Every structure is written in C-alpha cells, then in structure tokens.
Structure 1
Amino acid sequence: MTVAVDLGTTQTGEPAELDLEELLSTRLLVQGNSGSGKSHLLRRLLEKSAGWVQQAIIDPEGDFVTLAERYGHVVVDANRTPNELARIANRIRQHRASVVLNLEGLDAEVQMMCAAAFLNGLFEADRAHWFPMLIAVDEAHLFAPAMSGEHSEEARKASLGAMTNLMCRGRKRGLAGVIATQRLAKLAKNVAAEASNFLMGRTFLDIDMQRAADLLGIDRRGAERFRDLDTGNFVALGPALSRRPVPIRIGPTETHSRAGRPQLMPLPEMPPEDLADLVFTASEAEREADRRAGPSRQAFPQAPRPQAAAAPSTSTHEILERVASGPSVRESHEPAEDDDPRSPEERAAAVDQIFAEMLEDPDAAFRPVPVLYQEFLTHCRLKRLRGAETDMAAFRRRLSLARAGISAETEDEDWRMIVERSADLPEEMQGVFMMLARAAREEAECPSDEALARAYGSHSPSRGRFLLSFMAERGLITADRDFRGNRVVTIAGTDWRTKLPEVRLDSLDEARARRAARLAQNGS
C-alpha cells in the first residue's frame, strides 16, 4: 500500500508528497541553518504520518513533547539509567508505542549516552518485534559528530555507533532514520552517506552550499539558490520525494513547539532603581530553595505497588522495644519493681534518646561495640531505666538501627516485611539494609559509600560498596548507575527505588568549565 504524506506545495502549487513506504527503505536527511525550518519540517512529517507508522523522536530541546496530547505519543524522560532506557526501548517496539525521548535539561555528553542506550535498545529488540518505525533525530550532529571535540571519547563512540547502526543496518530491523542537522560538515560521513532522500534548506557557507549541491546533483552556479531560500522552503530529491530536485514549501502544523519563534516585545517601563532591586534581591522561591537541604527531586512514574507479603510475627516496634523492655541478665535474679510511672512508649523514647546522644559523638560510630555497650548501660542507670539493659546481641542490632537512623516510627506491613528480610543478613548489616530501604521508600537519593560505611561502623568507603554487592548477590537489592555515575538502588520485591539527583544549571556550568579547562590543557 502506498501512503503519500503531504509535506506542502511545490512552486507550481502542486502537492509536495512523500512516499512513506519508500522512506522506510531509503531514509531521509534534512539540512539547513538555524532558523531555516528544520524542526517545523520534521513536525509536519511526523504529524501527517502519525496514523500510519510507529514513531520515535530523539528530542534534545524538548520541542516535540507537544505531540503527546494531540497524537498520543508517550513522553520518555531520559534521566534514567542505561538499563532502564534499554528495557523501555524494548517494550516500545513490543507494544508499537510512538514516543518522544525528551533529553531537555541534560548535559550534551549525557544526552549522547542516553540517545545511544535508547537507540541500541530499539536496534536489539527481538526479531518478532521488528515492526516498521520512523526514528526522527533532531540536531543529529550532536549525536553523530564528524570529529571528536569537547565530549569524552566514550560518549562520542557510543552515540556515533548507535547512529551508524540506525542509518546503516536499521532497515532490516524496520528502523527508518530521519535526521536533521544544521551543517553537513558537522555530521559524520558514514551517517549522512546512508540517506537516499534529501531536503536542503537555507545555507550560507560556501562549503555547505557546495556539499548540498553535490548531493542533489546541482552545478556550482545552482548552489547559490540555497542562500535565497525563505524559512520553511527546501529543495527535495530522492526516491521517496522526486527524481529531480524540486523546491517545496512546507505546510502548516497542528501542534507547535513550546518555544516558538522569537518575537519582539516592549521592555518593562520601570525606574532603574526598581530594576536594580529586582536584580539584586532574592525572590521568595530562591530563598526557599536555599533553605532546603538539597535540590528538589522529580519522582519517576511508579508502577502500582505489589501486594505486601504477609506480616511477620515480630513487628518493628516489638524489635525496637526489646532494648527498652527486655529483662536484664544481671537483674534476672533481682525482684522486679513495678513502681516506674513511665509508660512503655516513654521508656522506648528514653532509649532512643540515649542512642541519639551516644551517636552525636563523631567517633562513636567507630568504637568497638563492647565499649559502646558499657556506655549504654551507664546511660540507662542514670536515667533509671529498669529492664533497658539487654544482652549484647540485641544491643548490637539496636545499635545498627540507630546508626542507620531507624526508629519505631514506621508500623505498616511493607516495613515489617523489610524488617523480616533484614534478619537474613548479619546483625551489623541489618541497619544498613534498612537505611537503604528507608531512602528508597522516601524516594531520596541513595546514601553515599561513606554514609553506608559509617552506618556499618567503618571508615573505609570501599566497605560501603562491598555491602551493596553483598546484598545484591543475595537478591535483597538491585544496584545500577546512570550516565553520570549516580547510584540507583531498588529494594527487591517492592517498587521502592532511590532517586537520581535533579539536573541543575550550576552543575551543567561546572561540567562545561571542566571540559573547557581540559581542552585548554590539551591544547597547551
């Protein structure tokens, strides 16, 4: 079946159509300077073909997310781990969902790694899911650069390899690349050479005009026409477009970019001193951000929580109460006294306070457990806590919970399941596991190696990494890393998952500064 995609009109007023089936076999390259209408052309093509073929858009600036509401595209936030993106890409091919991979806000190097993981996931899908699919890549020179630059060699190779697979080997897997670039000179030749259809827009540099003319089979004199093209006008050539170069004008679109074209607007009419106050006075939102302990976090969409396992016979509260209410070995031969007016909850709070006071000392986390145990007994006598002195094993467990910041404040079935699972670990590791579980449940960032080691009672950060691998080998957690090396921990059997830190502009500036310094050093 032949499907003609209406791109606009030719100079003679005839419809400018693109053969969609032919495009799936021959791929498309769009070239034009910034402002020539490349993104508008891609949007028109995607809108007119949305009902006929599955689509995926690699969107570095977040311009195409507006397709979601009108045409049902699923927006995929790229701030995920490589394994997550690969699995998502596999499910996209399986269920034939049209998606927009939103790379907005990510550092350019991270964008390259995200796009590579996503494209590789599409490319490596099972043969049963090789359905026809358009892969539109805006600003393709970012992902397939012609030469190494300010980005790391690892990121460049991964991204360039994925783009080369898309354009060179994607056809047999049903993947048809549609790539747009500002300059052909910026785009890797192996990627550009595989396109058989071309739409060339406004270009000013002589070298770019000549390359465009060579691709279209136009003589040097005819290459001058690329300087005179208006925004939204292109010269088309290829088996899916026309057998001869044909100037076309791209038609209107139903959706629009969130940014749009720049438009002039009047400047604010305000005295200079008032403007100075606005510039140098922090807003309430900025002050609130400064008061927060860390950057705001954006939660990933979570799947429905699985039904909790049956509650164990021993609750968190009962475990933590053993310290406060358990009979002492030394007092077992003494007559019990019942004249303490405090309730069990008050005695438990007093025990929590003792542990908090003990651990306020920075060196307390690294003292031998027997020494801390004697100190604990002394505090209990001073606070007249009868029955709080317990055996060494129970104290060691309670100490590991206190080091991890766990108290008897959580009493639901999910948490009791975590407490039950922790019993499979050595006592000194149980608090570390619950520390990870609490961070995952609260959707906080994963504790650092230093924090994990400190909760274990060690100075060595490598001990924290060992604890993670130890728990992962026993199936209690899964640990992964994103493209920046940030760790993500998921608690097995639950949807509890630690969060990636939000990308901040200051961190992007720091990364750019480091790359500039590295380039300057290499140049010298």
Structure 2
Amino acid sequence: MTVAITIGERRGATAGDGPVTMDLAELLSTRLLVQGNSGSGKSHLLRRLLEQSARLVQQAIIDPEGDFVSLADRYGHLVIDAAEHTEAALQAAGERMRVHRASVVLNLEGVDAEVQMRRAAAFLGGMFEVPREYWYPVVVVVDEAQMFAPAAAGEVSDEARRASLGAMTNLMCRGRKRGLAGIIATQRLAKLAKNVAAEASNFLMGRTFLDIDMMRAADLLGMERRQAESFRDLERGCFVALGPAISRRPLAVRIGPVETESRSAGPALMPFEPTAPTEEIRELILTPVPERELPARTPRPVAPPPDILAQLAAHADVARAEAEVEAQATPEIDPAEQKQRFAAILADILQDEEAGFRPVHVLYQDFLVRCRIEGMGRQALDMPRFRRALATARAGVDARTAQTDVWQQAEQMASALPEDVQGIFLLIARSALEKLPCPSDATIARAYGTHSLGRARRQLAYLEEQNVIVLRMDGMGRRSAVIVGLGWETAPALPDAPA
C-alpha cells in the first residue's frame, strides 16, 4: 500500500502545479539523508515532513536545539527534557514509547555536547532493544546528525563518541527490520560518518558552499562533478531530491509551508533605534556591581607544622629497639648450619620451573619471606651475597661442595665477572669439576634467565673473550669447555640438546 505525503512542489512551478510527494512506506525501508548549510531551510523541511506524517506514523525526534518541541501543542508529541533525566531513565523511555506507541520529542537543549551524545544514545538504544512484538513503524528524525555520528574524534570522550556512533549505526543499518526509519539531517556531509550516511537511499540536498560538501552531495545524487556548483545557487527552502521514495531522477523541490513554528527561530531584522540617551545608557551598563557583604570569619587556630626530623628520629629509635628485641629473641646459628639452611631455601625456590626466568629482585623477596618463616629474618643475606648464593644454587652445587677449597677458587674467579654472567660461569665450572657434559644452549639460557638461545651463545662468547673459559668443538659437532687456570674440562655434548 502506498501512503504518500506532499513535501512541496517542483522548483519554479506555479502554485498547485507539480506537487512532489514522498512514499512513507518506501521511506520506512530506504531511509533519508538531508543536507544543507545553516539557513538553507533544513529545519523547515524536517518540520514539513513531521507535520505531514504526524497522523500517519509514530515519530521520534532527536532535537539538540529544542526546535521541534512546538509539535507537542498541535500534534500531541510528548516532550522529554533530557537535562531532567538520567541515561537509564531515557533508555527506559525509549522502550516504553514504542510499547505504548507515543510520538516523542527528545529535547537535548541545555546540556553540553558529550551529555547530548550519551543521552541520545541511551534513548535510541532503548528504542532499538524493544521486544519483537513492539516493532511498529517509527520515523526517527535526528537533527544535526554530525554531532551524534561524527566522522572524526572531537573534544568529547571516546566512550561517548563510541556509544553515540554505535546507536546511529544501529538506527541506519539495522533499524529497518525493527521498524525504525531513520531521517538524519546534517549541515556538513564531510563531518558525518560515512558508514551512517551510506545507509540512506533517499536524499534531499540543500544549499551548501564548501567544495568538499558539494562534491559529496553530487556523488550521492549521481551528478557530475561540474554540476556540483549548482548547490551554491539553491534558494532557501529549495532542495534537490533523489531516491525511491521521492524520485528516480534528481528533482529540484521547493518545500511547502508548515503549520507550526520553531521556538528558537531567529528574530527578524528591524530598524535600530537607541532606547535611551547616551548618558543614561552609560549609567545602566557601567554601574558597579554591588559586592555581597560576607560575614566576618573567625580565623581558625593554625597548628604548628610537624617536626619531621623529630618524627624520623623517634621512628628510628623504635625500629632500633624492635631490632634489638628480635635479635635477643633469635638464637645464634652456627655459620655452617646457616649456609646449609640458606642453600636449602634456595634449592626449594629453584624447584619451581619458572624460577629461572623470574627477575632477581622477585626471587630475593621470596627468599626473605622464607627466611622469616624459618626464623632467620635478621640473619638473611643482603642482595650482593644473595646473588652469589643464587648463582651457586643455579649451578647445581651442593652445600658440601660449596665449602671445599677447590670450589672456592671457582667462586673467586666468578667474583671478578659481572653479576649477570656469574651463574653461567659457575654452571660450566661445576660441570667441568664433575666431568659432566658441557651445558647446552638451552641450559645456559635458563641459568641466565632468558628463553633466547642466541643470548645464551653471546654470553658464552663473552666469557671466552674474558679468558675464563675456552670452548672446543670436536668432529661430531659436540662442544666442551675448559676452565682457564684450573684445568677443569667438561665432557663433550651437543650444544642444541634440550635443557
């Protein structure tokens, strides 16, 4: 069934000749894009469409400037002031207006741009998510659509932009099956998101002056680029129409009259006459503003600033006293036994497969906690000694071997090396001392705390450059290492063997 409304007449036609109609049923399936610079008659066009279809289809108007609230007096639209409601309330209102089939004007006047975007998104989301049994046809008009579907990020937050753009995309892309017919109007096509504009199949293009907007308008209407200049010559209230709901060919239309007026219409130009003599005007405008007399405030007593040095000294005294008490309560431990217990704690830590790849400071914190549990908190190793003990533990040296004079020579050589390679050297030294196979690249990488075999090979090369080891390769591709000065040598082994 065709339900047509008259939007105007052919441009240049005489009164009553050549009316231009719009098929509402077709519009519900194909959507509409209206473009026109400020003063082109865009709001007048939207008002004409709304008035002509008010008795035929349910309407929802997203009104950022409060232009369309006057429809309520004549056609019974419910005006919702967004400034007085939360986003949750507006989402519920969007659902209920479809359930109860009421036409609504969402007045966004009086709130800033980001709040407008959030609340419009909430309202549109409520309309979109209504159950299927309430998918009745609704014409959804969004004025100043470039605010709600911007082509680029602006001064609003990304969250607000995503919410608003998502709601507009749903309206224009998926709204048709839910009975939502989007009519979006914009001053600047270049500022409107392309994925939103591209979903419209009907167009009404008004006066515009910027080249980029004229080119986009010409492209949408299928006109040649040289014809784009004609958009500059359009009069106020005249538009070029195209689309299955209006005309199959570009058609110049002069929009018909409306019955209601915009509440925010600008004042008409009139002759200017001063309302009072100059001296009186001066007095009215420049009279000093009286200052409010505030009651005298009794100053509050100001506390003296705290003595930071005294507080620090007191804290140090308390900490010293606590340390003395703890030291007295902790029994003395034999140094040999202490080393064995430290070695046992380190061995327990290194049983975790991931311990080899954790940073030293993380392992040190774990070590301190375990020492406190063992009652050795005040006797724990400091960081440098912990690093040396950790290197020995990673080398797999047991507590008895670590106390021998022979091994002390290896540790003395390791102490001259950087801390990060001491563990690798001790690992090789232990293998050489016990005539074990030369550690593979994977084993050395684990001792170094990395998964990179290339980094492990670079550390071996560094040790050889420091003249502490000598690497040999036999005819079978197996590698062995000799500790310089000690004469210890590992058994040959393949470098690419698993860890």
Q: TM-score, normalised by structure 1?
A: 0.54
Partner residue in 2 for 1:128: 133
Question: 2: CA distance between counterparts of 1:25 and 1:219?
Answer: 27
Does residue 142 of structure 1 match 2:143?
A: no
Instruction: State whether structure 2 residue 2 is matched by structure 1 residue 2.
Output: yes
Task: Work out the CA distance in 2 between the residues paired with 1:71 and 1:151.
Answer: 35
The residue that corresponds to 2:73 in the other structure is 69
SS at match of 1:240: coil
The structure with more radius of gyration:
2
Q: Distance in 2 between matches of 1:178 and 1:280?
A: 49
Report the Cα offset of residue 227 of structure 1: 0.5
Q: 1:274 aligns with which of 262, 267, 280?
A: 280
Map 1:150-299; keep pairs closer than 5 Å.
150-265=155-270, 266-281=272-287
Where does 1:370-409 land on structure 2 (aligned, <5 Å)?
none
Instruction: Provide Cα deviations, 1:80-127, integer angstroms capped at 9, x if missing partner.
Output: 111111111111000000010000111111101110000001101111
Task: For 2:32 and 2:185, locate their aligned partners in 1 and report how far apart those are by CA, in whole Å.
Answer: 9
Q: 1:125 to 1:282 in 2, by over 3 A?
A: farther
| Structure ranking higher on relative contact order (CA contacts 8 Å, 6+ apart) | 1
- How far is the alpha carbon of 1:203 from its aligned partner? 0.9
**What SS does structure 2 have at the residue aligned with 1:58?**
strand
Residue identity matched to 1:274: E
The separation in 2 between residues aligned to 1:31 and 1:148, in whole angstroms, is 21
Superposed CA deviations along residues 216-262 of structure 1, whole A, max 9, x for unmatched, are 01112211110000000000000001000000000110001112244
Match runs of 1:15-26 below 5 Å: 15-26=19-30
| Residue 41 of structure 1 pairs with residue 49 of structure 2 | no
1:52-88 deviations in Å (ceiling 9; x for gaps): 0000100000010000000000000112111111111
CA distance in 1, matches of 2:258, 2:91: 31
Counterpart CA distance in 2 for 1:241 and 1:282 is 61
Residue by residue, what CA displacement relative to the aligned partner does 1:351-390 show, whole Å, maximum 9, x if unpaired? xxxxxxxxxxx9xxxxxxxxxxxxxxxxxxxxxxxxxxxx
Alpha-carbon separation, structure 2, partners of 1:271 and 1:202 = 43
Root-mean-square deviation over aligned CA pairs: 2.3
What's 1:52 paired with? 56
Q: Secondary structure at the match of 1:64?
A: coil
Equivalents in 2 of 1:140, 1:92: separation in Å?
21
1:276 Cα deviation from its structure 2 partner:
2.8
Residue type at the aligned position of 2:7: L
Residue number in structure 2 paired with 1:443 = none
Matched, 1:108 2:113: yes
Per-residue deviation, 1:272: 2.5
1:32 and 2:40 equivalent? Answer: no
Shift of 1:273: 2.7
Q: Residue type of the partner of 1:53? A: V
Q: 1:170 to 1:281 in 2, by over 3 A?
A: farther
Aligned-partner Cα distance in 2 for 1:65–1:118: 17
Work out the CA distance in 1 between the residues paired with 2:199 and 2:273: 48
Q: Compared with structure 1, are the counterparts of its residues 76 and 197 closer, same or farther at alpha carbon in structure 2 (3 Å cutoff)?
A: same
2:104 to 85, 99, 116: 99
Are residues 128 and 156 of structure 1, via their aligned partners in 2, closer, same or farther at CA, if it must alter by over 3 Å? same
SS at match of 2:185: strand
Q: CA offset at residue 154 of structure 1?
A: 1.0
* Identity percentage of aligned residues: 69
SS at match of 2:6: strand
Is 2:66–2:264's contact at 8 Å kept on the other side of the alignment? no
What's the CA shift string for 1:179-212, capped at 9, x where partnerless? 0000110000010000000000001111111111
Rounded to whole Å, the distance in 1 between the matches of 2:207 and 2:242 is 15
3-state SS of 1:221 partner: helix
Residues in 2 aligned to 1:259 and 1:103: alpha-carbon distance in whole angstroms: 13
Q: From the superposition, tell whether residues 82 and 259 of structure 1 become closer, same or farther in structure 2 (CA, over 3 Å).
A: closer
The structural deviation recorded for 1:281 is 4.7
Q: In the TM superposition, what whole-angstrom CA distance separates every residue of 1:466-515 from its partner, at most 9, and x where no partner exists? A: xxxxxxxxxxxxxxxxxxxxxxxxxxxxxxxxxxxxxxxxxxxxxxxxxx
One-letter identity of the residue aligned with 1:113: R
SS at match of 2:225: coil
List aligned pairs for 1:476-495, cutoff 5 A: none
1:429-440 → structure 2 map (5 Å cutoff): none
How far off is 1:282 after superposition? 8.3
- CA–CA separation in structure 1 for the residues paired with 2:4 and 2:78: 25
| Separation in 2, partners of 1:280, 1:191 | 51
Using a 3 Å threshold, how does the CA distance of structure 1 residues 6 and 280 change in structure 2: closer, same or farther? same
Letter of the 1:224 partner, please give it.
E
Structure 1 residues 110 and 119: alpha-carbon distance in aligned structure 2, compared to 1, 3 A threshold: same
| 267 and 17 in structure 1: CA distance in 2 versus 1, 3 angstrom threshold | same
Distance, in Å, in 1 between the alignment partners of 2:266 and 2:29 is 33
Which residue identity lines up with residue 33 of structure 2 in the other structure? Answer: L
Kept in 1, the 8 Å contact 2:128–2:178? The answer is: yes
Query: What is the distance in 2 between the residues matched to 1:168 and 1:279?
Result: 55
Stretches (4+) displaced over 3 A: 280-283
Give distance in 2, aligned partners of 1:191 and 1:14: 32
Counterparts of 1:281 and 1:110 in 2: how far apart (Å)? 38
The SS at the match of 1:65 is coil
CA contact (8 A) 2:189 2:213 kept: yes
Q: Which runs of 5+ in 1 are unaligned?
A: 292-361, 363-524
Contact preservation (8 Å) 2:169, 2:195: yes
Determine the C-alpha separation between the residues in 2 that align with 1:275 and 1:259.
28
How many residue pairs get aligned? The number is 292
